[in-house]
Amino acid sequence: METTEITEEQKEIQLAQSDLSRAKALVVNDAESYRDCCQIELQLKQAIKDAEKFFEKITKSTYDAWQAALDLKRQAVNPRQIALGMVQKIRLDWEREQERLRLEREQERQKQVNADAKAEAKQLAQTLKEAGQDELAKDLLSNVQTPVVTEPSTVPDRPKGIGSREVWAFRIKNEGRIPRTFMTPDLKKIQSIVDTQRKLAEKIIPGIEVYSETVARGAAKVK
């Protein structure tokens, strides 16, 4: 029985699918699995670089060969890019959840510290009142000093090559309130009106000038 030899390209593609399957099965629920997640993220980044470098070596002597090599490269790189995105989302989701829990613990501790400080101040103020120091007691109660509580993070230190950054985005809440300065004309829609109405389009769409020019049929288009 003949055995079909697997090419290096096919091996690389199989490894890519294996990387994707591993990412799909990944779960982060503690510090140890978080560290594993970071290591997998690093491995995927390196695997993507290696795959891209590997397929760049494949001959480009003809267009068909280049297209075939490009297709193989996609099969080796794309699953890993998908896997990398999945792993990074899992890591960031866990980090966000740990930060939420940290802030929650911090707020609870701060409430307790504030309550303890007020109780201690009341007790001391009562002692001062009994000693006839009413003004001092009143001043003490109006200026209760409480220390600021800081709860340490439970997220382990990230290995080199693993990180995150804050990015800002936006979504449209009320398009009618957006200043015209930030509105882009729909050029395709305007052109469709000009194509059918020609010079009359100026009356339909204020603010434009309609003109015509002669061009050759089948004019060249630079792509």
pLDDT (tens digit per residue) in 91-123? 999 998 999 999 999 999 999 999 999 999 899
CA–CA dist 20, 78 (Å, integer)? 9
Average of per-residue pLDDT values in the chain: 86
**Residue with the two structure tokens 């390209």:** 9
What pLDDT score does 215 carry?
58
CA 14 to mean position of chain CA atoms: 28
**Residue with the two structure tokens 């809440």:** 173
pLDDT (tens digit per residue) in 134-193? 888 888 888 888 889 999 998 999 899 988 888 788 788 888 888 877 788 889 999 999
CA–CA dist 56, 54 (Å, integer)? 6
Please answer whether residues 193 and 201 qualify as being in contact, where contact means their C-beta atoms are separated by less than 8 angstroms.
yes
CA–CA dist 221, 129 (Å, integer)? 93
- Cβ within 8 Å of residue 208, ≥6 positions away: 190, 194, 201, 202
Please answer whether residues 83 and 44 qualify as being in contact, where contact means their C-beta atoms are separated by less than 8 angstroms.
yes
pTM over 0.75: no
Please answer whether residues 136 and 128 qualify as being in contact, where contact means their C-beta atoms are separated by less than 8 angstroms.
yes
Q: Is 140 exposed, middle or buried (0-12, 13-18, 19+ CB in 10 A)?
A: middle
Please answer whether residues 98 and 142 qualify as being in contact, where contact means their C-beta atoms are separated by less than 8 angstroms.
no
CA–CA dist 102, 85 (Å, integer)? 25
